[in-house]
Amino acid sequence: MRKHEKQYRIAVRIPLAALILLTAAAFYWNPEDYRILIPIAAFVAILTIAVLTSADRSLAKFALDTGKRIEELLFRTPLETPMPVFVTDENNEIIWYNEECYHKVMGDRDWYGMPSAGILGESIPQGSSFPVTIDRREYTVYAVKGTGSHAGMNCYYLHDDTQLKHDARMYWLSRPSLFAIMIDSLDEVLQDARENERSQLIAQVEYVIEQFVSENNGFVIKTDRDKFFAVIEERYMKGIIEKRFVVLDRVRALSSVDKLPVTLSIGVARDVASYPEGEQAARQALDMAQGRGGDQVAVKTPNGYDFYGGLSKGIEKRTKVKTRIVATALAELIESSSNVIIMGHKFADLDALGAAVGLLRASRQMGKSAAVAINRTRNLVGPLLERLEKNGYENSFYNPTDLMDRIDERTLLIVVDTHLEHVLESAELYHLCKNVAVIDHHRRMVGYIDNAVIFYHEPYASSASEMVTELVQYFGRQCHVTRTEAEALLAGIMLDTRNFTIRTGVRTFEAAAYLRRQGADTVEVRKMFSSTMDDYQSRSRLVSSAEIYHRCAIAINTTISDDIKLVAPQAADELLSISGVDASFVLYEYGDTVSISARSMGKINVQVIMEALGGGGHQTMAATQIPNISLEDARQKLLEAIESYNQHNKPQE
């Protein structure tokens, strides 16, 4: 409108301006004509002023009329709008409402003077819109706050979007959840079975899987001898999760011919954008479940993974085909590198150092410059480190910062006894190396190293030292270990198996036998586990102070000790020798964190309990660190984690 008004004023003024110019020209050329044009110019000027004045009055009247019409329209909008509307005063009491609100929201009852909390709830959310539910109808409320003389008053428009939200829920509930399913270690389970027994067991497992999927109105296809792929709608996932994926228990109840447990690994992808994306996510989740030892479900979530199950002990893989393939690839990688750096986890233990020494020896026998990155002051291997440096390894162990200048484009970093970046001895050194190999036996966790050229992960192995011992035997005739390295490797195996009592398989004893043939002296190895009298007394105090909670022994260290990181695991091991104890936990302060060392004989999966507190490890050996917390608060969190574990899991016999 302002544009048209401006154009009108310009159009009226143009003739007046033209007349004035004509009068001035006449005065210059012919004064007689000038006198005639003066009254004409005056008349036109008066006429122009009159026209402009009239136009202004018309425009003012038009604006006033339009404002009144808009005001009337705005006044009638709440009355005639098809959605419920009501108005409240400064006390949030209802002072007006329309017919739609009276019938649909207020149930044909008079709400004048009643508080709006009866409709909107006691606490009205901040913002211009918010959802409410009234008599099973879902509304989105749009609030308009009064201003000026109407300050304190509020007008609420209620849009009924019950059907829209119902359709959105139905869409979400009908979204597909994709399941990648695999029978764990099927070849090992059926190795000694007759053909008819193999067929019978596989048929039983297939029936259980198909029954589980059909119970949830899904479909399943068999993609390989031991692999399946299923699709189940999201509406059934809540019940499946509440039952903790009962298919795991049903398959576990089946028994192979030689009584080895039959288990499943399942990867689940939910809320995916497409089927190809879902298939990839489900297979990644399956890899995670298998990397954690199998007999469990890994559900891919936006924040990582949720895990269910994981109660059974892993079945030892008897074949060494994978070991031979990895050994060949690793040997080629070492030979093509300019130099080799081997690194374990923070606070290196005997297993990390033993595995590192085995690879250090092999790398040097291949003609490569090699070194071990280890914190010389913060480790648990002081006696073994001194022993190695006295037997030809005096220039082999360096603080990570001292190895930075050795790194080039072809440097190979071999990570042992861990696969997690945040527990590496030096994350900075890891990021500087472009070629990385990982050798680890711990169950896979979220945040693992995902850029390794070789990722040799075997959760069924007893220790990293066992894995390295097997690899060395396939490196070729030029690679062999001497007595010094053999004893270091054997010490690592003995540490993680607690002197061959847990997580010990046929291949564990085969590795130990090889090391024994290479000259390892078990007496000398045992000396590496010796402790001082102070350590022994500290360990005894911890054991005697333990409390029993749901067959779990819990001890808390309240004294200051420089060797507590060494004493605590030993105390946890000793607590397992007490009758009626299935798992043990030792809590101690180290710096500004509380650390927990956990042990189990296998009936309780301490890895699951430690993961609930931010840690991880193995079914029988795990740990965690909780920053900025007191010992008592950490103890309470541990009790809650144990209670939650017992509610969701039945201990395995």
Which sequence spans correspond to the domains of the chain? Answer: 2-80, 85-169, 192-309, 321-527, 536-648
Band of residue 116 on the pLDDT scale cut at 50, 70, 90: confident
In the predicted model, is pLDDT for residue 453 greater than 80?
yes
Between CA 170 and CA 451 the distance in angstroms is 40
Nearest to 361 by CA among 472, 516, 511, 514: 472
Question: What integer pLDDT is reported at residue 632 of this predicted model?
Answer: 94
In the predicted model, is pLDDT for residue 517 greater than 60?
yes
Between CA 4 and CA 121 the distance in angstroms is 50
User: What are the start-end ranges of the E strands in 382-465?
Assistant: 397-398, 412-416, 435-440, 454-457
In the predicted model, is pLDDT for residue 470 greater than 80?
yes
State the burial class of residue 120 (Cβ atoms within 10 Å of its Cβ: 0-12, 13-18, 19+).
buried
| Identical topology for domains 85-169 and 321-527 | no
Are 154 and 145 contacting, i.e. CB atoms less than 8 angstroms apart?
yes
Question: What integer pLDDT is reported at residue 66 of this predicted model?
Answer: 55
In the predicted model, is pLDDT for residue 6 greater than 60?
no
Question: What integer pLDDT is reported at residue 316 of this predicted model?
Answer: 58
Question: What integer pLDDT is reported at residue 653 of this predicted model?
Answer: 46
Cα Rg of the chain, angstroms: 40
Question: What integer pLDDT is reported at residue 119 of this predicted model?
Answer: 86
Q: Please name the amino acid found at residue 593.
A: T
Between CA 209 and CA 227 the distance in angstroms is 11
- Which residue has better confidence, 572 or 310? 572
Give bridge partners of residue 372 from the DSSP assignment. 342, 397
Which architecture, in CATH terms, is 321-527?
Answer: Alpha-Beta Complex (3.90)
Q: Mean of the pLDDT values across residues 72-77?
A: 51
Least confident of 132-146, 190-204, 433-447, 616-630: 190-204
Question: What integer pLDDT is reported at residue 73 of this predicted model?
Answer: 46
Q: Mean of the pLDDT values across residues 90-106?
A: 87
Instruction: Please give the span between the terminal C-alpha atoms of the chain, in angstroms, as a whole number.
Output: 87
Q: Mean of the pLDDT values across residues 198-217?
A: 93
Band of residue 120 on the pLDDT scale cut at 50, 70, 90: confident
In the predicted model, is pLDDT for residue 385 greater than 90?
yes
**Percent of the chain whose predicted confidence (pLDDT) is above 90:** 52
Band of residue 127 on the pLDDT scale cut at 50, 70, 90: low
Between CA 185 and CA 57 the distance in angstroms is 94
In the predicted model, is pLDDT for residue 243 greater than 60?
yes
In the predicted model, is pLDDT for residue 317 greater than 70?
no
Q: What is the CATH number of domain 536-648?
A: 3.10.310.30
Which architecture, in CATH terms, is 85-169?
Answer: 2-Layer Sandwich (3.30)
Band of residue 388 on the pLDDT scale cut at 50, 70, 90: very high
Question: What integer pLDDT is reported at residue 273 of this predicted model?
Answer: 86
In the predicted model, is pLDDT for residue 257 greater than 60?
no
What's the whole-number average pLDDT of the chain? Answer: 86
Band of residue 36 on the pLDDT scale cut at 50, 70, 90: low
Question: What integer pLDDT is reported at residue 516 of this predicted model?
Answer: 96
User: Which long-range CB contacts under 8 A does 247-251 form with residues at least 24 apart?
Assistant: 247/208, 247/209, 247/212, 248/295, 248/296, 248/297, 248/308, 248/309, 250/208, 250/211, 250/212, 251/183, 251/205, 251/208, 251/209
Question: What integer pLDDT is reported at residue 189 of this predicted model?
Answer: 79
In the predicted model, is pLDDT for residue 12 greater than 60?
no
- Structure tokens given for 583: 């798992």
DSSP string for residues in 49-62: HHHHHHHHHHHHHH
Q: Please name the amino acid found at residue 537.
A: Q
State the burial class of residue 31 (Cβ atoms within 10 Å of its Cβ: 0-12, 13-18, 19+).
exposed
- Which residue has better confidence, 588 or 72? 588
Instruction: Give the count of alpha carbons within 13 A of 525, CB side only.
Output: 25
Between CA 448 and CA 439 the distance in angstroms is 12
Q: Give the CATH number of domain 192-309; options: 3.60.150.10, 3.30.70.270, 3.40.190.10, 3.40.50.620.
A: 3.30.70.270
Q: Mean of the pLDDT values across residues 322-342?
A: 94
In the predicted model, is pLDDT for residue 435 greater than 60?
yes
